[in-house]
Structures are given as structure tokens and as C-alpha cells.
Amino acid sequence: MKRKLKEILGKTGTITYYIMDFLLKAGEVSLDIFIDNVSRPYGGRPRKQSVYNGFARLKKRGYLTSSLSEGRVVYRLAETVRKELAAIQKIKLKNLRAETWDGRWRLVSFDVPEKQKKHRDVLRYRLKRLGLAHFQHSIWLTPYKLGEDFYEIVKECGLKDCVLVIESDKLPQEAKWTEHFNIRPNSHVTRPRIK
């Protein structure tokens, strides 16, 4: 994933984030529709100039395309960006309700070649969003079972041979990690909410 795109996705309160989020869900929008209707649920009505600037920045970076439709300029996500954002959305844990910890740890390790750097960035970004902790360089940790969507995106990105998931019932410095995830054996673990 491009560094700037990663930065946009990390800043959930910005107008550019809301533009990208809306376009991923809706497919397209014109500036006036976005200003009049869409921006209100995202924390109030932003200044028109902020919206114009947000769309202009995203288009300049190649994240958006535009075309005329019924006399209006309509914006869409560039196809490559839409695919990357859709891939990010696919990596999610399906079951978000509390469950009993099974006493096992899941370590996700990856060694992604430089030519697949954008996929590595997508994976790293999504692991953070899922609430995994950074255990060591390129190793992430969770007490939760990884859903099928996680394995699907690894396969779709062509990272099947680059990602390794290890399950273990023992962990170095386990007390530190049980405290980090606020768990005890046979306790209920609440998964973090995905934003």
C-alpha cells in the first residue's frame, strides 16, 4: 500500500478518510451531494473548501478518478485503490462477541519480498486494526482465533508462502501479554471492536 494511502486510513477523523470510506461503500459521489448529505454523519458539516481540497488531493495522488454524469463531476476510487481498500475490509474477525480464552496464543509471522511491499503494508495495517500486538519484528500476537477471512486475504494477495501462523500454549513473558490483553486462563476475552 502506498505510504500516503496508509496515512489517510490511519487518520479516521479527517475529511480525506471520510471521502475514501464513503466511496468504498457507495461507489461514487459528486461534491455537492457529499457536502449536503454525506458529510453530516461524519462529525458535522465541514467547510466546502475543505471538501474540495480533500477531493483534489486524493485525485492528484491518483486515488480518485472523475467523470461527467448528468452535468456533474462524479468521483470514484481508482480501481487499484478500491481493490486494496476492499482487501483491507476482508481481513476481519467474524465473531466479535466475548468468548472464553482457550489458553492458546496465535503468532503471525511474515517475510514478504520487497516487490510485494504493498501487500505487506496492507497486512500490517489490518493486523493492527484487528487488535494484534507487535510481539517482535514482523511477528504479531493475539489470543484470538483468526477467521477464514484472514486466510482468504493472505491467499488473494499471493502471500500464502510468506505468512506463518503458529499456535502455542506457552509464551515468553506470558504474564506481560495476558496483562496486555487483559485475560486470565478460563476468563472471558472481549475482542476489540473494529472501527
Q: How far is CA 93 from CA 55, 149, 150, 158, in A?
A: 31, 7, 8, 20
**Quick one: pLDDT band at residue 165, thresholds 50, 70, 90?**
very high
Residue 26's pLDDT is 78
Q: 52-100: per-residue pLDDT in tens? A: 888 998 999 889 999 988 888 899 999 888 887 776 666 544 433 335 6
Q: Which of 57-66, 107-116, 120-129 is the least confident region?
A: 120-129
Do the Cβ atoms of 85 and 20 come closer than 8 Å? yes
What does pTM read for this prediction? 0.49
Does the pLDDT of residue 121 top 60, yes or no? yes
As a whole number, mean pLDDT of residues 119-128 equals 74
Q: Which alpha helices (H) appear in 69-194, and where do they start and end?
A: 79-90, 117-129, 148-156, 174-180
| CATH T-level topology, domain 94-189 | Alpha-Beta Plaits (3.30.70)
* CATH classification for the domain delimited by 3-84, as one of 3.40.50.720, 1.10.10.60, 1.10.10.10, 3.10.20.30: 1.10.10.10
Please say whether the dihedral angle defined by the alpha carbons of residues 116, 120, 126 and 132, taken in this order, is positive or negative: positive
Give the residue from 156, 30, 145 showing the smallest Cα distance to 90: 156
Q: CATH 1.10.10.10 in the chain, residues?
A: 3-84
Give the residue from 89, 102, 107, 118 showing the smallest Cα distance to 194: 89
Higher pLDDT pick, 103 / 153: 103
**Quick one: pLDDT band at residue 166, thresholds 50, 70, 90?**
very high
What span, in angstroms and rounded, lies between the C-alpha atoms of 14 and 4? 13
Q: 3-56: per-residue pLDDT in tens? A: 566 566 655 567 777 788 778 877 888 887 787 766 554 555 667 888 888 899
Q: CATH 3.30.70.240 in the chain, residues?
A: 94-189
Residue 192's pLDDT is 45
